[in-house]
């Protein structure tokens, strides 16, 4: 079936039959597709919480997530604590990750969001001080670098005085394994598809937001740090309504790629997206020359359409998706927006379609239950709660 008619069929069926097996992209005679999950719970998931969250809780959340098989975790944001108080200790989180990398079965990339030059300065104050301290600690030539895939400071070795759990991971059997690799760090920047939201969120126009990215891009590339860009309210704006022009999103995406951005996360910040609108946006991006491999989709579940929209994106060739464990989240600048699509629900849906994520959903469900309890909020993951119920019965 052609892509055009497949998309039309999906749009007709999505509202009535979310996540039907007929949507599967993997069949018996075709290898399973690998889907990359970007876990945004520690940043996007926590930023809207009203009750102050202890630094130790944030670090423990990251460490628990690191043991589930996730390969990318958004860990913090160097924004003004005046506007987003929950992110005030992101520098401490960055230092902890660099000095005592969380144990994990596979190497993990940690992302940090930067809004402007001030955030850039604050990030690099922590990042470069760690690099300098490592160079000072080893006046003799350091050991051979690890896999060479990370930023420039991967050429330094691990602190020998670090706690054992900080310099170990888990092998396939669950036992610890030693590693001297420092985790890869990536930066994230953000703009929006509407002028109103950009003004409310960053106090500048869309054009001015792009200008602010220039020093971030330059500095990041100097240190071989990848940069991800978010385009917020791509499928609906709290100030300008649900009908955001997909051509504006495509124009922004092209501009960001021309600046040197490595990946663009197109975000349905308000959760207003529907199956037909998602399909139309992806077709418009494709027509503008934006490659599917350069895109991620970021859905909120305000109207319960996040999984439906995710399957639409999957059928259009998208293979990277953002989500938050336990359905954490909300946006300080998007009144009424609820949490991100729950990582447990997204993983369960993709697995049911024959795709693979590398994520241990049972461990993930336990993390979602734990952090929901720590925050004193309801666990918003349907799949997570069902899995936990099944595990309790089997024990």
- Report, as residue numbers or ranges, the catalytic residues: 331
3-state secondary structure the chain: CCHHHHHHHHHHHHCCCCCCHHHCCCCCCCCCCECEEEECHHHHHCCCCCCCCCHHHHHHHHHHHHCCCCCEEEEEECCCCCCCHHHCCHHHHHHHHHHCCCCCCCCCEEEEECCCHHHHHHHHHHHHHHHHHHHHHCCCCCCCCCCCCCCHHHHCCCCCCCCHHHHEEECCCCCEEECCCCCEEEEEEEEECCHHHHHHHHCCCHHHHHHHHHHHHHHHHHCCCCEEEEEECCCCECCCECCCCHHHHHHHHHHHHHHCCCEEEEEECCCCCCHHHHHHHHHHHHHCCCCHHHEEEEEECCCCCHHHHHHHHHHCCCCEEEEEHHHCCCCCCCCCCCCECEHHHHHHHHHHCCCECCCCHHHHHHHHHHHHHHHCCCCCCHHHHHHHHHHHHHC
In whole angstroms, give the CA distance from residue 343 to residue 327.
Answer: 7
Angle of CA points 121, 127, 128, to nearest 5°: 85
| Exposed / middle / buried, residue 1 (Cβ in 10 Å: 0-12, 13-18, 19+) | exposed
Instruction: Tell me which residue has tokens 């002028």.
Output: 195
In whole angstroms, give the CA distance from residue 25 to residue 3.
Answer: 12
Q: What's the distance, CA 189 to chain centroid?
A: 12
Give the number of C-alpha atoms closer than 13 A to the C-alpha of residue 153, restricted to the C-beta side.
23
Within 10 A of 82 (CB to CB), how many other CB atoms are there?
7
């Amino acid at each position: 079936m052609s892509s055009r008619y497949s998309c039309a069929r999906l749009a007709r069926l999505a509202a009535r039959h979310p996540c039907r097996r007929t949507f599967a992209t993997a069949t018996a005679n075709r290898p399973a597709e690998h889907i990359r999950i970007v876990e945004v719970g520690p940043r996007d998931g926590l930023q809207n919480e009203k009750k102050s969250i202890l630094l130790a809780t944030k670090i423990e959340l990251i460490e628990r997530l690191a043991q589930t098989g996730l390969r990318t975790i958004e860990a913090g944001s160097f924004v003004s604590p005046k506007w987003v108080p929950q992110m005030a200790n992101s520098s401490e989180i960055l230092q902890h990750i660099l000095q005592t990398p969380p144990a994990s079965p596979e190497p993990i990339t940690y992302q940090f969001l930067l809004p402007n030059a001030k955030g850039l300065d604050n990030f690099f104050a922590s990042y470069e001080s760690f690099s300098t301290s490592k160079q000072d600690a080893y006046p003799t030539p350091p050991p051979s670098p690890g896999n060479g895939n990370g930023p420039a400071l991967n050429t330094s070795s691990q602190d020998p005085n670090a706690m054992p759990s900080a310099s170990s991971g888990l092998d396939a059997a669950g036992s610890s394994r030693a590693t001297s690799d420092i985790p890869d760090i990536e930066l994230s920047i953000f703009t929006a598809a509407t002028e109103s939201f950009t003004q409310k969120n960053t106090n500048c126009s869309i054009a001015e937001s792009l200008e602010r990215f220039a020093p971030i891009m330059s500095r990041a590339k100097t240190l071989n740090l990848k940069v991800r860009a978010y385009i917020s309210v791509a499928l609906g704006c709290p100030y300008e309504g649900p009908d955001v022009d997909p051509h504006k999103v495509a124009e922004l995406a092209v501009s960001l790629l021309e600046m040197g951005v490595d990946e663009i996360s197109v975000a349905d910040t308000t959760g207003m997206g529907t199956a037909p609108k998602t399909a139309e946006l992806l077709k418009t991006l494709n027509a503008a020359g934006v490659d599917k491999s350069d895109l991620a989709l970021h859905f909120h579940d305000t109207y319960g359409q996040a999984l439906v929209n995710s399957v639409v994106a999957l059928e259009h060739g998208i293979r990277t998706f953002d989500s938050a464990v336990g359905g954490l989240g909300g946006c300080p600048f998007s009144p009424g927006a609820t949490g991100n699509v729950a990582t447990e629900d997204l993983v369960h849906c993709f697995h049911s379609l024959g795709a693979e994520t590398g994520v241990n959903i049972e461990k993930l469900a336990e993390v979602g239950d734990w952090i929901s309890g720590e925050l004193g909020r309801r666990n918003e993951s349907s799949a997570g709660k069902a899995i936990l119920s099944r595990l309790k019965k089997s024990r």
